[in-house]
Structures are given as structure tokens and as C-alpha cells.
């Protein structure tokens, strides 16, 4: 239905959970929220056909969408939460260490304006252990930005390409992200974002601090950074209460609202699995649990 449904490999994760073919996954009949936001869950720069279902992450987002006149909405939870169900953390997992840091980034249509040198200094003053800096693909391919963090002695990575209107992204984007997050004790950023919520749900201690930087032509319609800092004040700072953070992450990612595989297939209008490889049948059974 819409290429944004495939961003970050979201449709691939849901197809695995539902036990249907993943290469390629079936097309969804509707629009899937592809990132955390404080509006109605949908990207403001995309056009949507009225009456087509919206598949949203949380009840808060559904209420916002309803207030804006979007009636056919379903809370299904974030694909990230389904991935955690598909990939539970091993009991014999190695001990976590250090921090994975996500500098706020723009996208192809809007760039971020900010002082990375100042951010490097703040990270150095705050993080005691080894630091991994994860950059968005644009910043990762910009030597002036990437080398700024490399020269500071940080390991610099990129989870991959999210996809756009013309080209599909990396289907294993979220898998790479989960593997990295589970290596680290802390997750941090200069803005509360999807990556921070993901890290919290994956068991990291969160922190949000430093210059939040400025996004070109940033849309203040739903309150912007001022509202985020007011509404989630407890999640900002160099040290955050993990209990409060985890409860908030469950709410924002709809981790307690996941839909059984059979019901999710019905909502997305995906076919029932038949004569599938064993691994997909097992994924479907796991989704029903």
C-alpha cells in the first residue's frame, strides 16, 4: 500500500511474526506507523487516502489520530516489540557494557543543524565506559561528521538504510539494532526518540541529554521539543529511573497491545500460512503465544 510500511524492515518483521513469506512480504492494506512521534503516528510529509486503515503503535497515538478525524485506526504495537518476542534475549547472554549513543539526525528532506564537537565533549564528560556512536546513513556517509566521532575514540556504526519512496531499505535494520543494543548497558541521545524507546524496551538504561540541535523547517504543530520535554520530563537527564522509563516505553511502543498472529494477518489482509518452511510455521506459532 505504501513504501513507508517497509521502512526499517518493519513489514519484514511483522511477516516473520505472522508466519508468511518475507521475500518480499505481502503488501499491507493500510498505513503502518514507522516512527515514534507526538502526533497521530503518521509522517506529516506523506499523503494518505482517507478511509484507509492506520496501524498505530499506542493507545495515546490512536486517541490523537481520532481527535484529528482519522477514524479507522488500530493499535497493533510497534514492530520493534514483535521483534523482541521473536528474538528473546538468551539466558547465557554476555554481560553488557558501555553506551550506545544516537545523535539526533535528519532525513533526506530535512537536515540537522548543530555542533557535533560540542556534543562529543558532553559525551566524553558524561559516559565512563566505551562508547559506540550510531549515525543515520546520511551522517555516516558524511566524512566531516563521522570522523568527528572517530577522532574522539568512539566506535562509529550505522544500522543500515531505512528505505525511501524509490528504494527499499535494509530488511535486517532492526535486527542489527537489537544486536547492538543488547551489547550495551546504556542507550543515550540528545533527543527522546524511537532509538531511546527501543533501547529501554531491550533492557538498556536510558539517558537524554546534550544540545538537542535544530531540524530544518521543524514542524511545531503538535508542540515539538518543548512538549516532549514537559510530557516526558522524567526521561531527560544523564541518569533516568529505569522503572519509570520501562513503563513509559511499554506504553509508547504498545508492547502490552501486541496482536496474535492470526488476528494481525486478518487486519493487514495477509494470507494464512500454508505449506511454509518450518521456520515460518514456528514463527507463526510463537506469535500466537
pLDDT in tens, 116-156: 899 999 999 999 889 999 999 888 888 988 999 999 999 99
112 & 216 share domain: yes
pLDDT band at 163, cuts 50/70/90? Answer: confident
Residue, of 236 and 41, whose pLDDT is higher: 236
For residues 48 and 34, give the distance between their C-alpha atoms in angstroms, rounded to a whole number.
Answer: 14
Task: For residue 221, give Cα distances in angstroms to 12, 53, 169, 240.
Answer: 32, 23, 28, 28
- Domain span at 23: 3-87+254-288
135 & 70 share domain: no
37 & 20 share domain: yes
Q: Does residue 92 form part of some domain? A: no
**What's the confidence (pLDDT) of residue 221?**
67
104 & 247 share domain: yes
239 & 128 share domain: yes
Considering only the C-alpha atoms of the chain, give the largest distance between any 2 of them, rounded to a whole number of Å: 56
124 & 184 share domain: yes
**What's the confidence (pLDDT) of residue 162?**
87
pTM of the model: 0.91
Here the CATH number for the domain that contains residue 232 is 3.40.50
Task: Indicate the length of the chain as a whole number.
Answer: 289
Amino acid at each position: 500500500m505504501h513504501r513507508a510500511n517497509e521502512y526499517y524492515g518493519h513489514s519484514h518483521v511483522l511477516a516473520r511474526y505472522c508466519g508468511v513469506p518475507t521475500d518480499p512480504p505481502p503488501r499491507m492494506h493500510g498505513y503502518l506507523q514507522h516512527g515514534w512521534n507526538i502526533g497521530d503516528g503518521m509522517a506529516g510529509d506523506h499523503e494518505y487516502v482517507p478511509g484507509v486503515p492506520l496501524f498505530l503503535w499506542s493507545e495515546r497515538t490512536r486517541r490523537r489520530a481520532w481527535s484529528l478525524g482519522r477514524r479507522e485506526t488500530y493499535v497493533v504495537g510497534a514492530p520493534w516489540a514483535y521483534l523482541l518476542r521473536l528474538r528473546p534475549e538468551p539466558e547465557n547472554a554476555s554481560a553488557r557494557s558501555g553506551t550506545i549513543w544516537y545523535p539526533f539526525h535528519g532525513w533526506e528532506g530535512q537536515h540537522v543543524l548543530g555542533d557535533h564537537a560540542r556534543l562529543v565533549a558532553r559525551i566524553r564528560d558524561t559516559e565512563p565506559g566505551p562508547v559506540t556512536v550510531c549515525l543515520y546513513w546520511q551522517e555516516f556517509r558524511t566524512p566531516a561528521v563521522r570522523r568527528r566521532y572517530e577522532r574522539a575514540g568512539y566506535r562509529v556504526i550505522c544500522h543500515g538504510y531505512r528505505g525511501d519512496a524509490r528504494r527499499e531499505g535494509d530488511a535486517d535494520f532492526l535486527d542489527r539494532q537489537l544486536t547492538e543494543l543488547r551489547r550495551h548497558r546504556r542507550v543515550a541521545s540528545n533527543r527522546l526518540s524511537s532509538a531511546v524507546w527501543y533501547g529501554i524496551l531491550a533492557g538498556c538504561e536510558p539517558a537524554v541529554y546534550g544540545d538537542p540541535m535544530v531540524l530544518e523547517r521543524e514542524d511545531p504543530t503538535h508542540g515539538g521539543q518543548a512538549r516532549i520535554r514537559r510530557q516526558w520530563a522524567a526521561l531527560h537527564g544523564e541518569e533516568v529511573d529505569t522503572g519509570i522509563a520501562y513503563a513509559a516505553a511499554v506504553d509508547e511502543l504498545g508492547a502490552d497491545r501486541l496482536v496474535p498472529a492470526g488476528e494481525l494477518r486478518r487486519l493487514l489482509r495477509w494470507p494464512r500460512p500454508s505449506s511454509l518452511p518450518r521456520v515460518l510455521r514456528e514463527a507463526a506459532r510463537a506469535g500466537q503465544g
